[in-house]
Chains A and B, each alone.
Chain A
């Protein structure tokens, strides 16, 4: 028994106009200060104008949002009492908004204890609209919530099936001017979602097609976005790819690259998309040593050599690294700017956090401590995983 959760998805030119159809009394926009400066919040307010709703704004969500940010946001919602929460931003904003929503509805919940097991009882006070301003995180179509415990330098892979947004609005105008670095990092996050969603231990029929199509869209359109940020056809396809990959992995789970990436992000502050995609080739090489992988299906769908699982894994890894190189992404931890001293200082911490990340245990091959140590070291040095 399993579930497939999805928001209603409004996509394409003019999608933001869908806000005019929303019925309610009070809306709370959750966003970050930069998006206020860019005028994006004003666009949303304008779209909401005809609804007559009172609008409040929480505009201080930081990258890798903290537990404290979520608590503070929920406290402000308790003052303004919204019946719609509108998350306008990237993954950090959308994840923070989900956390705030849960605490707004149930102030007694400890945010670190948000889990996929308990029935929370959301949608008594409010519903959630997600409007992504990046193309990769997929948070607009998932129930996943990544928050950071800064005291422990640890990212927490949380979530609850009820926390999937009610509506995801994919309006290409919000990603038209996405900076190049953010474009590539978030785009590779979508690729990692697609491949891990297809190969996780929870993979299922409902997610397979979504993951394959999302992976293909990323290979086809991310290089175009990188070379010409104003290529709106490519931008739009990437926006769709991110949401589709979100539906895919959100209902089949991510895996080892995410577990390691979360650990890296928490300890050494590498952006999420960069971190998870950096580990993706290494995790494929690692998992390819066991039975039951499905790399040949992915490789064939992408028109890559796929004589058998091993060959398919190798060709997929090569294609990913070629893409990453083409769009200027690091292939090793050293290339990502991490010096050896810092890496060695944090290694035990990285291993410990990756070991207990909720996504690591979804991998087809779940590494023990010794293997994780070697995986991190191989990823630092850029060595092919041979164990």
Chain B
């Protein structure tokens, strides 16, 4: 049985996966910027669910399930429905296409993204490596 997404346990597993990955370390060596991964309201969640990751130079320094949205002011916010998150994380949808078609909405320092596209790709690759249970 996989780890429930979204959850504190899940995001910490992703942190562990990223920090073990030499590929991510290389791809994201110039990346600077923390994230809120935001899941639109679904099921019993009547407010967006958020996961925080602090990503710097190929490492994840901190990750947690967000209780108070004001606890951090992240550089990036990536949001979408639970269905679209699932499609991306199970490789049914390409993450770049998801963002380019508005299925996932990215806000933040786009110059950083355009100069470090490999980091973004490897970040999503990490998601797909985690044995995940989805609520939908």
- Chain B residues contacting A361 (CB-CB under 8 Å) are 96, 117-118, 121
B97 near A1 with CB under 8 A, answer: yes
A1 near B103 with CB under 8 A, answer: yes
Q: Which of B26, B100, B103, B115 touches A369 (beta carbons < 8 Å)?
A: B26
**How far is A201 from B94 in the complex, measured between Cα atoms in Å?**
10
- Min CB distance, A149 to chain B, in Å? 9
**How far is A156 from B118 in the complex, measured between Cα atoms in Å?**
14
A113 near B121 with CB under 8 A, answer: no
Residues A355 and B118 in contact in the complex (CB < 8 Å), given A2-B97, A369-B26: yes
**How far is A360 from B122 in the complex, measured between Cα atoms in Å?**
13
- Chain A residues contacting B96 (CB-CB under 8 Å) are 116, 361
Produce 1/0 per residue, A98-132, CB < 8 A to B: 00000000000010111111110000000000000
- CB contact list, B72-112 vs A, under 8 A: 94, 96-97, 99-103, 106, 109-111
- Min CB distance, B58 to chain A, in Å? 12
- Chain A residues contacting B99 (CB-CB under 8 Å) are 117
Produce 1/0 per residue, A343-386, CB < 8 A to B: 00000000000011110110000101100000000000000000
B110 near A113 with CB under 8 A, answer: yes
B114 at the interface (CB under 8 A from A): yes
Main secondary structure, interface of A, reads loop
- Min CB distance, B96 to chain A, in Å? 8
- Min CB distance, A176 to chain B, in Å? 37
- CB contact list, A181-218 vs B, under 8 A: 201-202
**How far is A12 from B22 in the complex, measured between Cα atoms in Å?**
53
- Chain B residues contacting A366 (CB-CB under 8 Å) are 121
B113 at the interface (CB under 8 A from A): yes
Main secondary structure, interface of B, reads helix
A116 near B100 with CB under 8 A, answer: yes
- Chain B residues contacting A158 (CB-CB under 8 Å) are 114
Closest to A370 in B: B26
B110 near A368 with CB under 8 A, answer: no
- Chain A residues contacting B115 (CB-CB under 8 Å) are 112, 156, 356
Closest to A152 in B: B115
B27 at the interface (CB under 8 A from A): yes
Residues A117 and B100 in contact in the complex (CB < 8 Å), given A110-B111, A355-B27, A368-B26: yes
- Min CB distance, A272 to chain B, in Å? 18
- Min CB distance, B95 to chain A, in Å? 10
**How far is A358 from B94 in the complex, measured between Cα atoms in Å?**
14
Q: Which of B101, B109, B121 touches A3 (beta carbons < 8 Å)?
A: B101
- Chain A residues contacting B102 (CB-CB under 8 Å) are 119
- Min CB distance, B100 to chain A, in Å? 5
B97 near A368 with CB under 8 A, answer: no
**How far is A99 from B103 in the complex, measured between Cα atoms in Å?**
26
A161 at the interface (CB under 8 A from B): yes
**How far is A117 from B30 in the complex, measured between Cα atoms in Å?**
21
- Chain B residues contacting A355 (CB-CB under 8 Å) are 26-27, 118
**How far is A202 from B79 in the complex, measured between Cα atoms in Å?**
23
**How far is A158 from B99 in the complex, measured between Cα atoms in Å?**
15
- Chain A residues contacting B27 (CB-CB under 8 Å) are 355-356
Residues A117 and B110 in contact in the complex (CB < 8 Å), given A2-B101, A3-B101: yes
Could you list 17 A-B pairs, sorted by A, with CB under 8 Å?
A: A2-B97, A3-B101, A110-B110, A110-B111, A112-B111, A115-B110, A115-B113, A117-B100, A117-B106, A117-B110, A117-B113, A118-B110, A156-B114, A157-B114, A161-B100, A356-B27, A358-B114
9 nearest A-B residue pairs (beta carbon): A113-B110, A113-B111, A112-B111, A117-B99, A115-B110, A1-B101, A116-B100, A356-B118, A358-B117
- Could you tell me which A residues sit within 8 Å of B by CB distance? 1-3, 110, 112-119, 156-158, 161, 201-202, 355-358, 360-361, 366, 368-369
- Could you tell me which B residues sit within 8 Å of A by CB distance? 23, 26-27, 30, 94, 96-97, 99-103, 106, 109-111, 113-119, 121
Given contacts A156-B115, A355-B27, A360-B118, 15 further A-B contacts (CB under 8 A): A1-B101, A112-B111, A112-B114, A113-B109, A113-B110, A113-B114, A114-B110, A115-B110, A116-B96, A118-B110, A156-B114, A157-B114, A202-B94, A356-B119, A361-B96
